[in-house]
Amino acid sequence: DAGVIQSPRHEVTEMGQEVTLRCKPISGHDYLFWYRQTMMRGLELLIYFNNNVPIDDSGMPEDRFSAKMPNASFSTLKIQPSEPRDSAVYFCASSLTADYEQYFGPGTRLTVT
């Protein structure tokens, strides 16, 4: 397996634009997690899915953020409209169960100017 795949690896956009981050989890993993990492706040869990269903989105900062998982092999995290304070590295991770090893993707470095 190629591991967790994220795209794009880097994204630079202007304030107010819509940003869509993509993730392909490891095949067979039932759990998918979206994290945000910044120098200010470290690694934060935004939302996670079990069998394509959102289970806990309490970490999503505000309504500008939304995440979907239309099928077992694809998930998106969307920010609309984007703001400079959204600049961070966004990681997707997948695992067999919630309390098991999570495999992280390489991350998407987002810069909002």
Partner 1 sequence: GESVGLHLPTLSVQEGDNSIINCAYSNSASDYFIWYKQESGKGPQFIIDIRSNMDKRQGQRVTVLLNKTVKHLSLQIAATQPGDSAVYFCASTDSWGKLQFGAGTQVVVTP
Interaction site with partner 1 (CB under 8 A):
4, 39-43, 45, 48, 56, 91, 93, 98-107
Task: Give the integer Cα–Cα distance in Å for 12 and 92.
Answer: 19
CA distance 76 to 84: 20
Residue 103 beta carbon to partner 1: minimum distance, rounded to whole angstroms: 7
Nearer to partner 1, 42 or 70 (CB): 42
Taking the least distance from each CB to partner 1, the nearer of 74 and 103 is: 103
Quick check: 102 and 25 in contact, CB under 8 A? no
CB of 17 vs partner 1, minimal distance in Å: 23
| CA 109/CA 88 separation, integer angstroms | 6
